[in-house]
Every structure is written in structure tokens, then in C-alpha cells.
Structure 1
């Protein structure tokens, strides 16, 4: 755990900036980083969402020390953490509703892919469901970039799903709208880590 010279917990500023930019309070973000090992914004965001019911979620960390033992089980040893990342084809300039629908298609399609092969993806799916079902939506430049990212995912053995629109509204039939990729945090980040959040 990262500590300041006085022994107090010191959150990583870059992770804290990401969490607060997502709309989480500074105190909730600090707690989330504390309880999830101060190493990953996705896990910390999932912690905040799962613990938003706590009356003291926005209290400073030092007022919440009694919860430390309860959180020791949040990150068990030897467990792999997974996330889904959705890359939206920005060159299509889809409206907000259209984008939301396309990401939903991608999530369902990828989830069905996982369910269709429980031997290969069962453990991944169970771990993802148990630890927050982390989902991140990012922006891709164009269809060529989405296809390149899909090829990288395939070469690493990651499940992925590409949405091709039916063409009923806004865009031409067959347009590639969203790529969904799932895998271990660090492996997915090696493919999508440089993309901007949507």
C-alpha cells in the first residue's frame, strides 16, 4: 500500500484524477483506491458503485477505518479480474441514443459469446460477474481501427464481438458501429489502454 511520510495512505494521483473525472467524490475515490490496492481505476470505480449505499461513502478515509477488515476480502489472492471494453466507431457520428443501443447490442453479443462456450469462458464470466462487471466505453477513430483492435484481441485469445448495424436508422446497413472486447484488465489495457473514454 502506498503511504506518505507520516504513514497515511497516499492514493495515486493519476488514478484519483480518473475517478473524480467520472463524477465520483474525492473521498469516495480515495476509499476505493485504498480498498482495491491503489492500482487500477476500473476496480476502484466498481468498488464505489458497489458501495454507494454506504452512508459514509463520502466521509474522509480516516473516519471509516473500522471498515478495513470488511474490505480485506474484496481482492482475494489469486483471483483474476476482467472487464469489458466497448470501442465506438466515432467516424459514424451516431447520436447518443443510437450509440447507447449499439453498445447494448455489443454487450449482449459478447455476453452470448461467453455463454456459448462455458468450457473456455466460464471462469472469466464468473469472475467478472462476482467483481463488479466492469464495463468501459471508449472511442475508436474509424472502422479500420476497430478491425485492427479486433485482430489484436483475436491474436491474444480474447473474446470479442463486432456490431454491424441493420441500417434502420441514422446509418447505412452493415456499418461497423462497436467492437466489444473482454479479458483480464492488463491484457485488455494492452489493446485499448490508449483510447479516450467516450
Structure 2
């Protein structure tokens, strides 16, 4: 299936999006339109049906039935353009957490470490006006958050370096070592930014 969206980047490059056909069908079977399903998959990073469905419910007050291409390429109607601007400035942000699987942390430990990464990343950004505005836009549109599986400490460090090189805010948690893991263990990497940029760093990782 060739359905997708295309956006011209500032450097003249093309960004393509091809939604997962099966995910689109599943979302449509839940009563959502095809355009709404494609939008949801785009704005949640083409992850899972559940995540896309949650996004649709969170944004049920918006017009989701217009083609995604209108968001990416602009439209002739000024009200549509305003709505497209809202999507592009807010919905394209997400926060991801890469959990260090080699540490074999328990569910509670993982939850605590993800929370640590989220709070630390938020605190590091909130005092900078431009970053605070991004956080507010992200919060306004549902605060998309994704938890992914990382292989080991070396991979988390490499991903953090890559994120920094792209100008993405990130925070790597070094645990105090009071429970389950050794002091200084790199447990979770948090990254915040536009979906297309964050996916350049974590797009190949699997959900935890």
C-alpha cells in the first residue's frame, strides 16, 4: 500500500510516512475513519494500535477526518491552515524512554526509573522559555510517551550522544544503587523532541 504523507524538509529533502496497513484496518474496525487512523499513527510514531487509539480519544475534539497531507503541505482554507499549524507545532512532539534491558529490572524498578527520567528531563527544559513552550504544546495535545527496549548501557550512551548531536533534549539516569542494580548503573534514557527527529534516534527500537 502506498498511502502516506510526504513533507519537504528545509534542506530540500523529503520525509515520507507509510502507515501500517493492519493498524489502519484495526483502527477503522473500532469506528475511526481512515484519515483519522493515518493521522493517529503518524503523530504517535507508527507504534501500536493501542497508542494510536489513545491518541484519537485524547484528540476527539479536533477534526481528524481531513487527510494528513493537509497538515504537512498546507491547505487553501485559512481555518484548516490554523488547525494544521496546531498539529505540526504540538502533535509532532513526543517523549520516549529507552530502558536498559541488560539490568533485568523488575516492573516497579522500571516504572520508578522511567519516572525519574521524565521528571529530570522536564525540569531541565522547563526553565528555558522556548523549551517550555514545546512542553506546553506537547502537554496540550496529550503528552505522547513511548517506552522502548534498549539492549545495554553502551547502546543507551550511544543513543544519548546521537540525540544530543541532533539537538534533542535527553537525560540518562544513573541509579544510586539502593535496590536491584549497582550504583551508577545507566537505567533509562529519556529523549524529547519532534517525532520525526526522535525517530531518527529510536525509530528501530521495539516497545518494552
| TM-score bracket for the superposition, by shorter chain length | 0.7 to 0.9
**What does residue 206 of structure 2 align with?**
196
- Whether the 8 Å contact between 2:175 and 2:186 is mirrored in structure 1 is yes
2:20 aligned residue (2, 14, 19): 14
Does residue 34 of the first structure (1) align with residue 35 of the second (2)?
yes
Per-residue CA deviation, residues 49-94 of structure 1 (Å, 9 max, x unaligned), is: 426xx8xxxxxxxxxxxx9858667x92233220001000001000
Alpha-carbon separation, structure 2, partners of 1:188 and 1:37: 19
What is the 5 A alignment of 1:73-84?
76-78=83-85, 79-80=88-89, 81-84=92-95
Residues 68 and 193 of structure 1: CA distance in aligned 2, closer, same or farther (over 3 Å): closer
CA RMSD of aligned residues (A): 3.1
**What does residue 122 of structure 1 align with?**
132
Aligned-residue offset at 1:48: 3.3
How high is the TM-score relative to the length of structure 1? 0.72
1:166 aligned residue (171, 176, 187): 176
Residues 33 and 90 of structure 1: CA distance in aligned 2, closer, same or farther (over 3 Å): farther
Spell out structure 1 runs of 4+ moving beyond 2 A: 15-20, 25-28, 32-39, 43-49, 67-73
1:101 aligned residue (109, 112, 127): 112
Could you say what secondary structure the match of 1:196 adopts? coil
Alpha-carbon separation, structure 1, partners of 2:109 and 2:131: 29
Aligned-residue offset at 1:174: 0.9
Alpha-carbon separation, structure 1, partners of 2:37 and 2:95: 19
Residues 116 and 69 of structure 1: CA distance in aligned 2, closer, same or farther (over 3 Å): closer
Unmatched 5+ residue regions in structure 1? 4-11, 55-66
- Whether the 8 Å contact between 1:87 and 1:180 is mirrored in structure 2 is yes
1:113 aligned residue (103, 112, 124): 124
Residues 37 and 14 of structure 1: CA distance in aligned 2, closer, same or farther (over 3 Å): closer
**What does residue 59 of structure 1 align with?**
none
- Whether the 8 Å contact between 2:35 and 2:64 is mirrored in structure 1 is no
**What does residue 157 of structure 2 align with?**
147
Alpha-carbon separation, structure 2, partners of 1:117 and 1:49: 31
How high is the TM-score relative to the length of structure 2? 0.69
Aligned-residue offset at 1:127: 1.5
- Whether the 8 Å contact between 2:33 and 2:65 is mirrored in structure 1 is no
Alpha-carbon separation, structure 1, partners of 2:123 and 2:168: 14
Q: Number of aligned pairs?
A: 168
